[in-house]
Amino acid sequence: MKNNASFLYGLFLIASDTVALVLAFGAAYVTRVTYGAKPISQQVPAKTYLYILATLVPVWIIIFALIGLYNRNVYEKRFNEIGRLFVGAGIGTLFVVGYAYFSNEPIFPAKLVPVYGFIFTFILLVLSRSIARAIRRALFAKGWGISNVLIVGNTQAAKELIDWLADPRVSGYKVVGIVGEHKYTGKHIPRFSSFEAASKKLGKNLHGIMQTELFADSSKNNEILSYAQNNHVAYRFVPGNSELFVGNIDVELFQSSIPMVAVHQTALIGWGRIAKRIFDLFVSLVLIIVFSPLLLIIAMVNKPFSGSVFFRQTRLTRFNKKFRVFKFRTQYKKYDGTPEEAFAKMGKPELAQEYRANGDYLTHDPRVTRFGRFLRATSLDELPQLFNILKGDISLVGPRALIPQELDVYEKRHAILSVKSGLTGLAQVSGRRDISFDERRKLDLYYVQNWSFWLDVVILAKTFWAVLSGRGAK
């Protein structure tokens, strides 16, 4: 079972960085306004200054995430972290200065405020990260947040790993077993004759697997990786063989000296997931406020056409979690259910096959109302899903949210469901009218395995253009 200690530590770092940024620029304001020898050039009330700063801090946090400051490989290496903190403080300060330049209203009471802000930001960030590291060590000493790992293979690399992980209070890891013979390891570590025996014994107490050698029988290797993916257990492979598993591969130096290959179902882990969630919250909240009058108008107009305002359906998102998706109803209520059920009810089961073959689309869908056709053509029926995004059910960008009944026809469903579903996605902007159901699945899988923040930006830009041009409508 996945250990959320690293994720929670990342959230703690975000919180401490936010406090450090606010305190730093607050101190910069006070230093210049209160203790400056020269008169200030512009009158900027402290309340206005702090309000503007608070709106810019989330962007600054995203900048930190993009340069890797919430990546475990960075924050576990002190000097690497300090270097990136300096870069992040500089980029963030330049962003604030750029915002001030294009703003109609003054932000800084004097030119030296952002200079002081940069200096205080760097100092407070280093200090807050040092405090966070000390707290983390203290929690490890009490046994909190430690990851239980199983080592597969009894090689020299396994011995080196065990030596590095000897003290969980320092490393944050505890070796709870080894699969292999007692060749290099001591008797104090439980030994298992097979991975199956180890997984049954350890169960949900297993947080990570470190494999140091490959079995000659490839099915055993596949068994280990499949177990890790299906049970959300972190998997790492110590290279020593040219064979690599298929997946999202991240080469890293464990404890700064042991090379490892981490195999993930998706690149959307760690800081990336945090940055994506912050972005989702900010954008969905802004869009809800902007479109609230339109939402009310559509709700009032839609009810006479379809009998009810909203369409609710159980869908699946990350880790098979069920949620209720909200859309403006666009089809007759009597045709609720899967397309197969609806078309069978109207005596046209052949339409279901055509619907799937066309990428879940029919040019003249008999289930859809007249006003519903307009909503779909403009994609306005999707707007209520902004509330799903705000709740955290789905993301702005991601794979299509599956209906539970569709699991049987989805290959690689564990991989696709390793991330949150999305309001829009790669399949939608790749010509969803013109691609088949199988092609959409492949695009969803590609997104999961190749996620990047830039890819999300590109998909959102293409979605915006598709909506304006009408090409993305269902």
What are the domain boundaries of the chain? Answer: 5-141, 147-264, 271-469
What rounded mean pLDDT belongs to the chain?
Answer: 82
Q: pLDDT tens-digit profile of 123-174?
A: 999 999 999 989 988 888 888 888 899 999 877 888 888 888 888 877 888 8
So what's the pLDDT on residue 470? 67
Helix, coil or strand: residue 146 = coil
So what's the pLDDT on residue 31? 85
Identify whether the C-beta of residue 95 lies closer than 8 Å to the C-beta of residue 59. yes
| The pLDDT of residue 242 is above 50 | no
* Most distant CA pair in the chain, distance: 85
Kindly report which listed range (28-42, 235-249, 281-295) carries the lowest average pLDDT score. 235-249
Q: Quick one: CA torsion of 370, 374, 380, 385, rounded to 10 degrees?
A: 30
- Pairing label, strands 258-264, 248-254: antiparallel
| The pLDDT of residue 385 is above 90 | yes
CA 90 to chain centre: 25
Long-range contacts for 450-458 (Cβ within 8 Å, ≥24 apart)? Answer: 450/248, 450/267, 451/266, 451/267, 451/268, 451/272, 451/419, 452/267, 452/272, 453/66, 453/272, 453/275, 453/276, 455/397, 455/426, 456/276, 456/279, 456/396, 456/397
Q: Cα separation of 139 and 119, whole Å?
A: 31
Hey, which residues does 337 pair with through a beta bridge? none
Ramachandran sector of residue 417 (left: φ over 0; alpha: ψ -120 to 50; beta: rest):
alpha
Q: pLDDT tens-digit profile of 286-324?
A: 999 999 999 999 998 887 766 678 888 889 888 888 999
In degrees and rounded to multiples of 5, residue 435 shows phi and psi of: -115, 150
CATH of domain 147-264: 3.40.50.720
So what's the pLDDT on residue 287? 93
Model confidence pTM above 0.75: no
Closest-CA residue to 248 (of 399, 459, 452, 413)? 452
